[in-house]
Structure formats: structure tokens, C-alpha cells
Structure 1
Amino acid sequence: MMLAEMNVSGDLAALLLRFIEQKQLDAPELQKQLCQYPPASRMTFRSWWCYLDQLQALMPKIPIGLELGLAIEPAYLGVLGYLTLSCDTVAEALQRFEHYQRLLHDGETASTRLSQDQFCIHWSSQFGISTQLSDEVLIMGMVKNLRIITGNNDLQPCRVQFVGAQPQGGIDYRRWLDCPVSFEQPELMLCFPLDYLKRPVSHSDPSLKKLLDQQAQALLDVIPRQEVFYQQLQQAIVKVIQSGTPTQEKVASLLKLSSRTLHRRLYEQGLEFRTLLKQTRLQLAKQYLAERKLRLTEIALLLGYSEQSAFTRAFRQWSGETPLQYQRKLSAAGIS
């Protein structure tokens, strides 16, 4: 899984340490692991997910992801946290977040869509799917940060959608987020009323913003672009899928690598071409099905299948349901 080997800000270790302290948890081994991350360091997503799982195991009846999201403060977001606090409006803070989000994590980058009455921040899954706990920290943390920068604790999202299945345990997500929440969706998404973009930031400081902008850019320039190879690989896989029968040799050729070199690089990253191909096809299939602009026969051809029946069989094997069943589920959830 590609995302697992990418990095997230080590500053989040301080969030977990503070949470353990506040809850008076007996977790000496976990604390020892978290103390290895100094400010501005990095940890892998795999480690981050493991730490969240350990915390959840210590408090099985508490929705750890949502609790941690509510505990987010600017200090845990490093320079980017303070930069958003110094902006003039929510729209400007969101623009800075999108530009500098690699300071917080590699991999999926957030982008914003605007409609007549909402703006939606969404994350694709092109590098693999994150865990439900991690997504909950992200979503609730975004809500909390919006409240912090505006000084208004009453701000609420319009809707939230998660990629993962709804967790067992009876968590009342509507009580936590005060909006419709759906699961097993094509992408992680968080939506707010459009007029929130015009809200002023309560601690706006143009002079400080200029200094923090410079500092954030300097930090961004020295972070290794770990995801570049993955992005190029993903793009190459999409191209060979849409041009015919996808093979590792064709992908290697597009990347200007020998098939042997590509195999070695995949092996070094713990990746397998067949798995990447399946993940990419599934992601594209869900995207095409959600858009409803193409017939199933056309989707099958775009995914490199000569017949619709072959695509239907593959989709059922990947997801446990047929393409039509998946579209009906989206319709039932109000997603067009």
C-alpha cells in the first residue's frame, strides 16, 4: 500500500502525547515511541495508524479519531497552523492550507470544489486508502481549526463522507458532526456553507502572515517530494489502462525505465504491479460510475476490458457488488 510508506508530520506525536496525559492513560511504551519525534520531524502513515490503533485499544468505548480531532490546536500543525491564523478570511486560510499541506503530510492533497451553496474539501485515494481513525482526525481537525480561526465554536459542516465502512460500536456521528454522514464513498469529503469562505479570521495579522509565508515556503522546499514517483507511476498506469491491455512493460516504457528497474523500484517500496493496477482500475471505475456520464460498455473499454461482462465480474470481485448495485447505492445516499 503506497500511502502507508509516505510521511505525516511528526508534530502530531505531540497531540497524542498530550491526549494520553489529559486522559491519564497508562501507556509508557506508546509514550516512549511518540517521544522519538522532535518538532518538524516526519513519521510514516503506517506508524501514525499504528499509534491511533493503540490509543483506540486503550479506550475502546471512546471514538478516538473524533476526540483527537477536537483536540487539534495550531501548535500541532506547525507553521501552517499559525499561518492560517494570520490570514484575513477563511477563503485565504483555505488557500494557504492547500498550498502548504505537504508540511503536514505527503500523498493525497486536498482540493476545494464550489457549488451554489457549499464549498467541499475533498481528498482522492490515488495512493491508497487511509484508515477510518486517521480520516476522523483529519475531518474533525478541519472542523476544529475552522472554529479556531474564526473564533466561532458554532460553525458546523453541511455533510461529511468517509471512504471506509461505518465502524462497529454505535458511534453517533451526527451528534459529533451535526450533519449528514455517509460511508463507503468514492472519496473523503467535508462540506461547509459557501458563505463561510467570507468569514474574517479573528487573529488576522498581515505582517506576521508575510513572515510565516516565507518560513512555510522555505520548509516546503526542503521536504523530499516522496510522492513524485507514485504520481508518475499512477499517471502511467492510467495511460496504459486507457490505451489497451495494461502491462508492467508498457508502464516502464512510459516512465523511461527498463521493466527490470521498475520491478526493483516497486519491490523496494513494498509494492506489487498487479495490486496497483487493480487499485487504479477500481478508483477509476468508481469515479466513472459516480459521474454517470458513460455507459457501462464505455467504462469497460476505458478500463482496458474488451467486454462489459469482464468489467462487471472484476468490479464485483474488487468491491463485492456489481457496477449497477454501486450506482444504486450512490443514488440512495443522494450522491449523483
Structure 2
Amino acid sequence: MQFQISILRGLIYGAVDHGADLNELCRRVGVTPEQLNNGEEMVDWQPDPSRDFWTNAVEMTRDPLLGLHLGVHESAANNFGLLGMLARSCRTVGEAVRTICQYNETISTVVKYGFEYEGDYAIFTMQPVTLWEQYNESSARQAAEISLSSFCQAFRSLTFNRAIPVRVEIKYSEREKNEYERVLRAPVVFGASRNALVMRRRDMDLELTSHDESLRNVFESLLTAKRTMMREKTGLVYRIRQLLVEEFRGQIPTIEEISSQLSMTPRTLQRKLAEQGTSFRTVSLQFRKDLAEQLFKAGTARKQRVASMLGYADADTLRRAIKASGAV
């Protein structure tokens, strides 16, 4: 799983403005201030609590609602880099949202954006991958809340305050509801089934003040090229492992299910993997071993939940399987 370094840069600069020390925060997260200048570069995400941005930033700023507050910080406007510029150059709110979803993978594979209509409402969802929630729900929650907050801010600023959510849905437990509603400027429902901005369907046709068709064409061409390059670079095995995390929550699907996600037949998938000297069974078993090793070493996931998620009866059975595989 990966995310774009421009996102980390915006988060770090925002946290610094809230009281964190730049050099110390960079040291804890495992980057140098100079690395933050490579905005479009992708970096790997690992379930390592000691290097988790949100864990360290909340501690250093002493702000338990840091994600909510950073969403309205000026640094958040540039977190998406090239994709953010493409979205702002779109004609309407709806077009911008669909563009974010379309090019999601170019900025992050640890937060998934979705968009759909439900009657008179438009639903814009933002969901950290389940494995993130499994190992550190408080960190995943901060990521979801900065997304909710920053998009509320962007919609307001780019539509003369006309695109305002009917309500904001947050899947986590309630806390400081008055502060959430002050920042988000909308009713908030906690304990929901999703993290979502519920908008009026008609508001999706509101034009953005930043619309520029010529820039939109340029940015879309660049993003399309970047997405193609990323897919070619990552390779088939990496894409399968990504899908196992993002779409199947760590469970191993059938080869028919995974090949459908890759837009190919099972036979074609088997042939392509054989050409690389491997098989779907080998890839999936190695993935399961690697995932279990990472989560157990992280120390923040409950071992029983991890075992259940990976299809084992209990944590002891999973531990024995890991040892037998030589993974630890």
C-alpha cells in the first residue's frame, strides 16, 4: 500500500503550525524535510505504530481532534498535488468528486474514495482500508476526519459557500459533537456505517470558481500518464496484493474473483503468473504470511481479530502457521 508524499508534507506542515517540531516529527515518521519536496513521489505505508504520523502528531500537538482541525488548515488545499489541481480545474462539484475517485490510486491506496447517488442525495465516501483500522483505529479515524473536513472546506470555498453537506456521517464513536459541527458546519452523525459527506444531488451541478478547461485537459493528461506508469511499474503480483488488502480485507478470494477485479479471465491470470514463475496460490499464501507477520509485530492489533480476519480459528493457530512458514 502506498500514498503520495505531498499528503505527508501537508500533514507535517499542518502539525508544525499546531505546535509540533518539524525535525523531530520528521525523525519519528522516518523522512527528512528535504524528502518532502518530492511531492508526486509515492511512499510505502506500513503498519508500524512507532512511525505512524497521526500517533506522533497527536502526541506532539496535544490535539486529539487534529485531523478535524488540519482539514481546514491552508496546507490541506495542496495535499493531493497534481490530482488536487485537476479536481479544482473541473467544471462542477460532481465532476471534481468523480475525478478524485477515478484517480484515487495515484495519491493513495490506503484511503478509498467513493461516490454514488441515493435518491435526492449525493454520497461522497472516504474509507481507510480495513487493515489500517484493525491495527490502529485512532490513526485511521484521524485520516478519515481530515478528508471529511478538507472536502467540506474545499466545497465551500470553491462554490461561494453554496455546496454545504446536508449531514456528515462518521463511523466512529461520538466525541465533542459541538466542535465537529462547528468545524464541518453541518449536522454530524456518529456511529454510522460509513464516513461520508451527504450532499444535495442538485449541488453536484454547482460550478467551481476555479474551473479552467484548458488546465483540466493538461492535468488529466498528466494524471492518466502517471496512473499508467504506476500500474506498469508495480507489476501483476503487487496489484494482486493490493486488491487482497483493499477489496478483500485480507481474506483470500477465488481466482475467479481476483481475475474479475483485474479485468482478465482466470486462465489469462494463471498464464501471466506462470510466466513470472509463480501462481495465485503462492502469491496469496505469501501475502497471508507477510500480513500476519506485520500485524503481529505492530503490536497494536488484537491478535484474535487478526487471526479471525485471516481465516484462522485463533491466534495460536495463526502463530503456528507463521512459524511453520518460516516467516518469523
Asked if 1:200 is matched to 2:198, the reply is no
CA distance in 1, matches of 2:86, 2:202: 21
Asked if 1:7 is matched to 2:2, the reply is yes
Shift, 1:213, TM fit:
0.5
Partner residue in 1 for 2:141: 132
Partner residue in 2 for 1:75: 78
Task: Choose from 184, 198, 214 the match for 1:177.
Answer: 184
Partner residue in 2 for 1:262: 284
Asked if 1:217 is matched to 2:231, the reply is no
Asked if 1:40 is matched to 2:37, the reply is no
Amino acid at match of 2:103: Y
The TM-score normalised by the length of structure 1 is: 0.65
Partner residue in 2 for 1:65: 67
CA distance in 1, matches of 2:178, 2:239: 34
> Taking structure 1 as reference, are residues 206 and 45 closer, same or farther at Cα in structure 2, changes over 3 Å only?
farther
Shift, 1:83, TM fit:
0.6
> Taking structure 1 as reference, are residues 200 and 274 closer, same or farther at Cα in structure 2, changes over 3 Å only?
same
1:1-336 alignment to 2 at 5 Å?
Answer: 6-32=1-27, 33=31, 35=33, 36-37=35-36, 38-43=38-43, 44=45, 46=47, 50-61=52-63, 63-71=65-73, 72-123=75-126, 127-128=130-131, 129=133, 131-150=140-159, 152-153=160-161, 155-167=163-175, 172-223=179-230, 224=234, 226=238, 228-231=240-243, 237=251, 257=279, 262-269=284-291, 270=293, 278-279=308-309
Shift, 1:279, TM fit:
4.1
CA distance in 1, matches of 2:304, 2:285: 11
CA distance in 2, matches of 1:280, 1:118: 36
CA distance in 1, matches of 2:23, 2:240: 37
> Taking structure 1 as reference, are residues 17 and 265 closer, same or farther at Cα in structure 2, changes over 3 Å only?
closer
Amino acid at match of 1:106: T
Gaps of 5+ in 2: 255-268, 271-278, 296-302, 312-328
Shift, 1:109, TM fit:
2.8
Shift, 1:124, TM fit:
5.3
Shift, 1:196, TM fit:
1.4
CA distance in 1, matches of 2:103, 2:283: 32
Shift, 1:78, TM fit:
0.8
Instruction: Report % sequence identity.
Output: 16
- Greater CA deviation, 18-27 or 269-278? 269-278
The TM-score normalised by the length of structure 2 is: 0.67
CA distance in 2, matches of 1:175, 1:162: 15
Question: RMSD across aligned C-alpha pairs, in angstroms?
Answer: 3.5
Q: Deviations over 1:138-171 (max 9, x none)?
A: 1112212223433x2464212222232235x676
Name the SS for the 1:172 alignment partner.
helix
CA distance in 1, matches of 2:86, 2:195: 24
Gaps of 5+ in 1: 1-5, 241-254, 282-336
- Greater CA deviation, 259-268 or 182-191? 259-268
CA contact (8 A) 2:77 2:150 kept: no
- Greater CA deviation, 270-279 or 11-20? 270-279
CA contact (8 A) 1:158 1:192 kept: yes
Name the SS for the 2:207 alignment partner.
coil
Q: Deviations over 1:235-280 (max 9, x none)?
A: 595867xxxxxxxxxxxxxx97576663333222346898568449
CA distance in 2, matches of 1:62, 1:258: 42
CA distance in 1, matches of 2:242, 2:99: 24
Shift, 1:232, TM fit:
5.0
Amino acid at match of 2:182: R
